[in-house]
């Protein structure tokens, strides 16, 4: 059975991790394009404010407080979305956080909790979504990372959770395809994105703050990729060429990439200033959100040629072919 996806403007989209960062940017963008959105996260004040801001702009939005590690809470969120707007059409698993420091310095309980959110939260949401979308069709969109392909020093547990998210997403896609379910399953792999994620991280090292390594991209780019995947079947989408280059380097030259990370890993991730103190450490409970971008004041790239090439492959090929033909013509003219 072929995948069945509605245009985004006719969809009901549930988004976890929607109180800040990529999730909030996605909720705003999807609502601005006509979708009804159900925002899910742990911090009720941030969710309430975000949903009301969308409604004030004429959008359709509701929220449900839930910890994604609790599958019953996500089932309740799905019921709430169906009650508010009708049947679900797309489910976006975006909720995530991080612990920064060496693996030996990171308590095992913290590592387990990080898996509860990043990995089991994705598993829980995907299974709840698959059950509801199996008959009518729809999209499951999981937010992994370029670190799904290449581990980052001092974020080993986070990298491990994103490796696990990739393996789960790829397997779920195959199983749903094998049974003929009309569900699209997409893995989004962002590079470094300027969100409060870096302020929300728990720190187990001596540095006062953390930042994602450069180059840094605007969360609107990831939101665009997610909204596209809700309405267009794609296996995966990578956002940001900077992270893709690191992943490719890790695949082609793994030891050289190791050495490079060992040399620049700590200074490349150390932040000064460290961000808003009230946002620090959301590993075990929600922290104030409300913003798609961080408070670190970093310049973020607003374009990604790599993403454009994935969203519009035929146009990209035509452009490259045209550029190639022009170059050949110019070379021939010079020779004449």
Q: Is the dihedral of CA 24, 26, 30, 33 positive or negative?
A: positive
Greater confidence (51 vs 213) lies with 51
Greater confidence (28 vs 285) lies with 28
Please determine, for residue 323, whether its predicted confidence score (pLDDT) is greater than 60. Answer: no
Please determine, for residue 104, whether its predicted confidence score (pLDDT) is greater than 80. Answer: yes
| Residue 328 binned pLDDT confidence (cut-offs 50, 70, 90) | low
Q: What is the pLDDT of residue 261?
A: 95
Greater confidence (204 vs 221) lies with 221
Please determine, for residue 207, whether its predicted confidence score (pLDDT) is greater than 80. Answer: no
Q: Report how far residue 137's alpha carbon sits from residue 175's, in angstroms, rounded to the nearest whole number.
A: 15
Please determine, for residue 159, whether its predicted confidence score (pLDDT) is greater than 80. Answer: yes
State the architecture of 8-303 in CATH terms. 3-Layer(aba) Sandwich (3.40)
Q: What is the pLDDT of residue 152?
A: 95
Q: What is the pLDDT of residue 20?
A: 96
Listed range (244-253, 268-277, 326-335) with the worst mean pLDDT:
326-335
Catalytic positions:
158
| Residue 270 binned pLDDT confidence (cut-offs 50, 70, 90) | confident
Name the average pLDDT for the chain.
93
Q: CA 29 → CA 32, 151, 301, distances in Å?
A: 5, 30, 18
| Residue 329 binned pLDDT confidence (cut-offs 50, 70, 90) | low
- Each residue's pLDDT tens digit, 228-265: 999 999 999 999 999 999 999 999 999 999 999 999 99
Quote the distance between the C-alpha of residue 44 and its chain's center. Answer: 21
């Amino acid at each position: 059975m072929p995948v069945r996806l509605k245009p985004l403007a006719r969809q009901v989209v549930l988004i976890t991790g929607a109180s800040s960062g990529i999730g909030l940017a996605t909720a705003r963008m999807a609502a601005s394009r006509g979708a009804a959105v159900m925002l899910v996260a742990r911090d009720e004040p941030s969710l309430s404010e975000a949903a009301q801001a969308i409604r004030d702009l004429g959008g359709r939005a509701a929220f449900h407080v839930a910890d994604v590690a609790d599958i019953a809470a996500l089932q309740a969120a799905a019921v709430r979305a169906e009650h508010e707007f009708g049947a679900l059409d797309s489910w976006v698993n975006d909720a995530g956080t991080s612990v920064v420091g060496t693996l030996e310095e990171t308590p095992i309980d913290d590592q387990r909790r990080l898996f509860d959110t990043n990995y089991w939260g994705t598993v829980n949401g995907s299974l709840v979504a698959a059950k509801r979308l199996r008959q009518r069709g729809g999209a499951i969109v999981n937010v992994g990372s370029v670190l799904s392909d290449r581990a980052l020093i001092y974020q080993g547990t986070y990298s491990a959770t994103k490796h696990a998210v990739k393996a789960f997403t790829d397997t779920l896609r195959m199983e749903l395809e094998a049974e003929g379910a009309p569900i699209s399953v997409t893995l989004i792999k962002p590079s470094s994105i300027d969100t409060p994620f870096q302020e929300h991280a728990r720190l187990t090292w001596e540095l006062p703050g953390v930042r994602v390594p450069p180059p840094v991209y605007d969360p609107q780019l990831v939101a665009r990729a997610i909204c596209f995947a809700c309405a267009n079947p794609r296996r995966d989408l990578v956002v940001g060429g900077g992270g893709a280059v690191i992943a490719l380097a890790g695949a082609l030259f793994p030891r050289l990439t190791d050495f490079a990370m060992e040399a620049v890993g700590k200074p490349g991730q150390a932040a000064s200033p460290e961000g808003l103190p009230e946002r620090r450490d959301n590993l075990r409970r929600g922290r104030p959100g409300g913003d798609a971008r961080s408070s670190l004041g970093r310049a973020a790239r607003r374009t990604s040629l790599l993403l454009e090439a994935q969203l519009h492959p035929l146009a990209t090929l035509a452009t490259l072919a045209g550029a190639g033909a022009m170059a050949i013509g110019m070379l021939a003219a010079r020779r004449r």
